[in-house]
Structure formats: structure tokens, C-alpha cells
Amino acid sequence: MSTRGSTLGILLLLILLGAGGRALWTWLDRPIERVAIRGELQHVSADYLRSQLAPLLQGQTWLSADLPELRRRVRNIDWLAEVRLAREWPYALAFELVEQVPVARWNDDYLLNPKGEPFAFAPVAPPEDLPDLAGPVGSGAEVLAYHDRLKPRFEALGLTITQLRLEPRGAWRFQLDDGVWVMLGRSDREARLARLAAAWQRQLGSQAPHIRYIDLRYPNGVAVAWHGETEVEEEGDGTG
């Protein structure tokens, strides 16, 4: 067989293989027929996730789907911390999902994960026993970290911090046992908290149901506002 004939034969074979490959691709690249959702899901249901995935998969075909881009878009679904994605035969996509772990409420409409990152929770109801935190945009990690520092301090007094607020100008306030509010302020927080603990153990703890708020923004004492009274009872000289 001549060299020319051999070359022609190879070209014809490549053409046939190419045509067959295109035909095979066309045959395999069909619309996605099945979606598998895997992972330990405690807060969100598979039905909720399928409703969120459906618009992202609209018009996608099994082989042509851009899995990295699709994974990025799925990662933006609320409640999802991590997404792994793979094709499965026949014509299926398998999603391995890692759910967000909610540790606190954040600014009413969001939850915080353990890193202090906010995520929206609607329409899924969050757990009811989460602390209620709030602060300026981008302060979630700072507020969560301070809550975690304060928590054991007040648990030693038999108290729970149910709300913690960081104001835009840097002042802190918090609520104890869904009742007494404490105005902590910006500076000298450790000394102020020590005065509160001493006053609570000495007198204020037994009177907690009658206290509206406690103001610690004083150099030598605290100020107490009582329910039903407009005057604030001061202990020590105040500076405001």
C-alpha cells in the first residue's frame, strides 16, 4: 500500500471517529433528568433545596453544564455552606451539600454561622434558642466573639445573655434573661463588668424582676432604672 493511500486511510478513519464522537456527544448531552441531593440536613428540606435548584438547572444539559459555575451559583443559596457537584449516569447531577450551622440571630433578618458570617434564613424557621445579636454591617464576627467571651462570665452568675448590641459609635449593651438591659458603653468594659457582677451578687440579682435597665457608664458605681419609675437611682458619681 502506498504512503499516499495510508495517509488517506488515516484521514478517513479520523473523520469517521470525529463524526462518531460528535454523534456520541449529541446522544449523551441530553437534558438533566434527575437531581440527587445528599448530605446531613437538619434545618432545610430536600423540597426547599430542589425549589432553589430548579431555576439554576433550567435549560441545562448533562454534558454541557458548566459544573464549576453551577457550583458557584448553588453556593449562593441561603443555608448552604459548601457544595460538591458531580455528573452521574444516566443524565443525573448529584449534589453533596453541607448546611450552615446557625449560632445566633443577626440584625433580625439574618443568622450567623460559627465564623460570624451572616446568611438569610427565610423561609426556613431558625432554631428558637439562639442569642439575638446586632451590629453594623461587617461586625458579625466581632459581636459573636464578644458574646462568646461574655457568655461563661454570666453563666457563672446563673444568667443568660439573650441579646447583645454593638451600636454604630462603638458602645455595647446587652440583655439578661430576656429582662434587664445593661448599658456597658465603649471603654473600661472589664472594670464595669466586674462592678456589675459584684452589685448583682450583693443586691441587684434578688431585685432583677423590678429592674428596667442598669447603666454601667459610671467611674465608681452603677445606675439602676426601676420599672414604674422615671428616676434613675445612682450609686457613685456619673459622667454619662
pTM of the model: 0.81
Claim to verify: residue 141 and residue 189 sit in the same structural domain: yes
CA–CA dist 11, 174 (Å, integer): 79
Q: In the chain, which stretches have pLDDT less than 50?
A: 1, 13-15, 17, 236-240
The verdict on 116 and 227 lying in the same domain is: yes
Q: Which pLDDT score, from 0 to 100, does residue 29 have?
A: 74
State the Cα angle at 83 between 115 and 48, rounded to 5°: 95
CATH code: domain of residue 162: 3.40.50.11690
Number of domains within the chain: 2
Any domain includes 142: yes
Question: Looking at residue 62, what is its pLDDT?
Answer: 86
Task: Identify whether the C-beta of residue 118 lies closer than 8 Å to the C-beta of residue 140.
Answer: yes
- Please state whether beta strands 172-176 and 180-185 pair in parallel, antiparallel, or not at all (unpaired): antiparallel
The confidence score (pLDDT) of residue 89 equals 86
Give the pLDDT score at 46.
Answer: 85
Q: What is the pLDDT of residue 30?
A: 86
- Based on DSSP, count helices (H) and strands (E) in the chain, helices before strands: 5, 13
Range of the domain at 150: 104-234
**113-159 pLDDT, tens digit each:** 999 999 999 889 899 999 999 999 999 999 999 999 999 999 999 99
Residue 137 is predicted with a pLDDT of: 96
pLDDT value for 166: 98
Cα angle 38, 43, 46; round to 5: 40
User: Are 172 and 230 found together in one domain?
Assistant: yes
Element (H, E) at 132: strand 132-134
